[in-house]
Each structure stands twice: as structure tokens, then as C-alpha cells.
Amino acid sequence: MATTPTGRGTSTLVGANDEVLQVTASPVTARVKLAAAPAAALAAAAPAAAERLYLNVEGVRGNSPSGVLSVRVVAPGIPDAEINETLVFFGLGKASSTDGSHAGNGLSSTVEITDKVAAMQARAGAAIQELEVSLVQPEGASSEITVDRISIYRLRVR
């Protein structure tokens, strides 16, 4: 399996949404299909190894100097189990400028969701095939924020 070596282990992409999201004061939802059941993968991990799951909000761009996104993650059909996070992006405007030191690639943020997904899995009693991720600007939208992609990576810690 192709993996990306990191300083602490190897990360592997297990899912991503299909299109760019335009986030305003109204929630926008994306479906992230998972290539392999993450909880099953966690269960199959060797005792010495630990696997973690991360939600990656990639390529966040906007004109404002900074931006805030509220993230809500649910598994379709599994009630009372959700992940809520607030992500702050300082330097958003500069990172979005193609003439700046980020080459216009924007910012990204990563949230660990291992235990929440495991809880969803336990509640569902079956492997999770898809996650639904909603994004909104909680403090109102002075300007639009775009998100290139929402992905889920699995990190196997050495």
C-alpha cells in the first residue's frame, strides 16, 4: 500500500469529498466516502501499532485577514453521534494570495477524529462507509471562504 512517510509514522488517504465548497453563513454539506472502513482498520491494527484518523480541511482560501469555520461531522443514519469543531485560520488573506509566500495554496487544518469515529462505529454496529461534513462561518460571512477538499487520513504511528 502506498503511504506517505512522516516523522512519526505513515499517513494514508482513506476518503475525500468530490467538489470545492463555498462556505458562507449558511451551512454547506459534503459527503466524504471512505475507501476502507476506518474502524475495521483500527481493529485490525497490531497491538504494538496505533492507528489514528484525521479530518483534513484542505486549501482554505478567502479574502479576509482571518476566518473561522465550524465543522460538524456525522455518519448518515447514526443518531446522537457527531463531531463538532471550530477552526480558526489566521493569515487567510495572505495565504490565499498567489503573490504571497503560500503561492495562493491557502491554509489547511487537521482534527483528530479517531475516538469519535470509533464511537460511531460502535453505535452503528457496522463499518462506516461515509461521513457527512457540514461547514459554516459561525460569526456571519463578511466574505466567502472556499475549501478545496475535505479528506480523511489514517496515520499509523510507529
Partner 1 sequence: MSRLAAFAVQTGRGAMPWLVALSVGSYLLLGFAQPASNVAALCGRLNVAQSVFLPAPNLQFSQILQAVAADWILMVVAMMAPLVAANLSYVGRVVHASQKVAASIAFLLGYLCVWILSGLLLVPLAFVLALTGAWIDLSLAFGVAVVWSMSPLAQWARNRCHGTSRMAAFGQEAQADGCWFGLRTGAACVFACWPWMLVPLQVETGHIAVMVLTGLYLFADRIAPPAAPVWRLPPALETVLGVSLLPGGRGANRHSLRHTKPLASTSQPVRTRR
85: nearest Cα among 134, 153, 146: 134
**Residue 153 binds partner 1, judged by CB under 8 A:** yes
Among 3, 24, 70, 129, binds partner 1 (CB under 8 A): 3
Identify whether the C-beta of residue 153 lies closer than 8 Å to the C-beta of residue 3.
no
Q: Which is nearer to partner 1, 78 or 107 (CB)?
A: 107
Mark the segment that binds partner 1 (CB under 8 A) among 22-30, 40-48, 132-140, 150-158.
150-158
Grid look-up 487544518 returns: 109
- Residues 90-109: x/- map of binding to partner 1 (CB under 8 A)? xx---x--xxxxxxxxxxxx
> Stretches 2-10, 38-46, 127-135, 137-145: which one binds partner 1 (CB under 8 A)?
2-10
In total, the chain counts a number of residues equal to 158
Q: Which of 70, 82, 85, 123 binds partner 1 (CB under 8 A)?
A: 85
What is the spatial distance between Cα 42 and Cα 12, in angstroms, rounded to a whole number?
13
Residue 137 touching partner 1 (CB under 8 A) = no
Shortest reach from residue 35's CB to partner 1, in Å: 6
Please give the DSSP secondary-structure letter assigned to residue 19: S
Interaction of residue 135 with partner 1, rule CB under 8 A: no
Q: How many chain residues touch partner 1 (CB under 8 A)?
A: 54
The b-or-e profile of 125-152 (16+ CB within 10 A means b, else e) is: eeebeebbbbbbbeeebeeebebbbbbb
